[in-house]
Structure formats: C-alpha cells, structure tokens
Amino acid sequence: LTTPRPLIAGNWKMFGLEASLDEARAVAAAVAQTPPAARVAICPPATLLHRMSEALSGESVIVGGQDCHAAPQGAYTGDISAPMLADAGATLVILGHSERRGSYDETCEEVSAKVLAALAAGLEPVICLGETLVQREAGQAEPIVTGQARDSLPDDLAGQAFAVAYEPVWAIGTGLTPTVADIGAIHAAIRAVLVERFGDHGASVPILYGGSVKPENAAEILATPEVGGALVGGASLKAKDFLAIIAAA
Ligand code: PEP
C-alpha cells in the first residue's frame, strides 16, 4: 500500500478580496520553487474561486470550495452547487465544517448528501468532524467523532479520493489545541471507522488535523501518528505562515 502525500489545506472562510490573490500567488511560487512533501490546497470564498483558479493555473496548488449544496442546481437562493464549484476551477471541497454544522444546523445526513454531490461533480471532499468543548469535557469526544464519521461518510466514497479532517470545535480559531496524545487517539478512532467501512482504501485515506494549527505547532502535530495533513484557517491567510506549515509536513 502506498501512503498518500499529506494534504495541507487552507480554509480562508469569509476572508479575502481580490488583493488576497497575491498571497495565493506567493504560496504557488514558493511551492513551485521548492516542491513540498505535501499536496497544497487553498479554499477561498466563492467570489474568488474563479479568479484564484485562473491565477494559479498551471501551478501545483489545488483550489477548493468551502461548502456546496446537495443538489446540482435549483431554486436555492444564495447557495452554490458542486458542479458550479467545479466550473469555477475547484477540484476539492470542504464539507461539514463545524461553522456550517453550528451556524446552519447542518446534520451528518446533509453532509453525506453533499459528499455524494461533490463526488458526482468530480470534486475531492474533505469531510470535517469534531466535538464541542462540552462534549469533550463529558468524555464524549471519541464516540461523537466516530458517530459523525459513520453518519457523514456515504458508502459511495469507496475507492474515491477523499480526506477526513478532525477539527475539535473548541480548537478552531481559539489558539487552543488538544495534546498530541489526544489528537493521536481521535485520529486512531477515525482510522478504525475508515478501515471498517472501506477496508484497505480506508487505511490510506488522509486524516487531517484542524484547529489553531500555526507555524509554531505544525511540526509536532504533523508528526503525530495517523495525522495525514492539516486544515488551516487563520494561519492560511498569510503566505508566510501557510508556507511555514507546508514546510513542516
Ligand atoms: C478551520 O476553520 O478549519 C480552522 C482550523 O481554523 P483555525 O486554523 O483558524 O483554527
């Protein structure tokens, strides 16, 4: 079995205007000059997707969306479908981010339907899972996350390119991170679900860690067993910080 390259994905969330494309160009230029061990993705807000994919055309930085609707098209004001993301140049999409599960009450069933839509459009889904602080303090982190994994990953993922991201909700944007032992334990539990569901393929699916990954803690986190990359929010907005994290993979 070949171990896939780690994936370092930047989630720009609702940050970034045209000028921010310079940060993406700087990342692409550095990646071209010194090819990293990891695959690198940037997921900008939807308004920048097309311009970013044009700006990075021919570069080895993947451009991705941050969400998609489960339907290919329809009367869904304000939403964006998976074929639309692909049409704008995306080849990857983040799904089930805790900010979507939290602010829009997205359920695992909805996330699973979005995964099917992403696959149908040829996009690589990065499916996010993670417990809240209340759940962790109640000792429920592992059953919550493995339950989300079972319910958010449709059987159709068998044999397809996808990644899972463990993102404890309380670690996102807070500067807090679990211990590497805690990260390793949850990643091992997710791995067990992936192997149970998808056999050998499940053994090689990258499991990213996300939540306050910074240049200072990236090397330690990325060296943790079963950590196959990082999903990076705040620290992906500046090329310098993001490149330092990429170099740590
Ligand atoms: C995220 O939004 O996926 C994330 C991990 O954010 P941050 O790195 O800012 O905690």
Confidence tier at 130 by pLDDT (50, 70, 90): very high
Q: Is residue 103 part of a domain?
A: yes
167 touches ligand 1 (CB under 6 Å): yes
Q: Is residue 104 part of a domain?
A: yes
Confidence tier at 3 by pLDDT (50, 70, 90): confident
Q: Is residue 220 part of a domain?
A: no
Q: Is residue 194 part of a domain?
A: yes
**Per-residue confidence (pLDDT) for residue 38, from 0 to 100:** 98
The total number of structural domains in the chain stands at 1
Is the confidence at residue 2, as pLDDT, over 70?
no
The closest residue, in CA terms, to atom 7 on ligand 1 is 233
Q: Is residue 56 part of a domain?
A: yes
Is the confidence at residue 162, as pLDDT, over 70?
yes
Burial 79-90 (b: 16+ CB within 10 A, else e): ebbbbbbbebbb
Q: Is residue 217 part of a domain?
A: no
Q: Which residues pair with 20 in a beta bridge?
A: none
Q: What is the CATH number of the domain that holds 14?
A: 3.20.20.70
Is the confidence at residue 1, as pLDDT, over 90?
no
11 marked as binding residue: yes
Nearest alpha carbon to residue 45 among 77, 69, 70, 80: 80
Nearest alpha carbon to residue 56 among 22, 18, 81, 8: 22
Share of residues in the chain with pLDDT > 90 (%): 98
Helices 239-248 and 21-33: crossing angle, nearest 10°? 30
Q: Which domain holds residue 99?
A: 7-209+228-248
Q: Is residue 223 part of a domain?
A: no
Q: Is residue 76 part of a domain?
A: yes
Ligand 1 pocket test target in 94, 127, 232 with most atoms within 8 Å of CB? 232
Q: What mean pLDDT comes out for the span 30-49?
A: 98
In tens, the pLDDT along 80-119 reads 999 999 999 999 999 999 999 999 999 999 999 999 999 9
Neighbour-count burial of 181, counting CB atoms closer than 10 A to its CB (0-12 exposed, 13-18 middle, 19+ buried) = exposed
**Per-residue confidence (pLDDT) for residue 4, from 0 to 100:** 86
94 with 167: CB under 8 angstroms? no
Residue 78 Ramachandran class (φ > 0 left, ψ -120 to 50 alpha, else beta) = left
In tens, the pLDDT along 202-227 reads 999 999 999 999 999 999 999 999 99
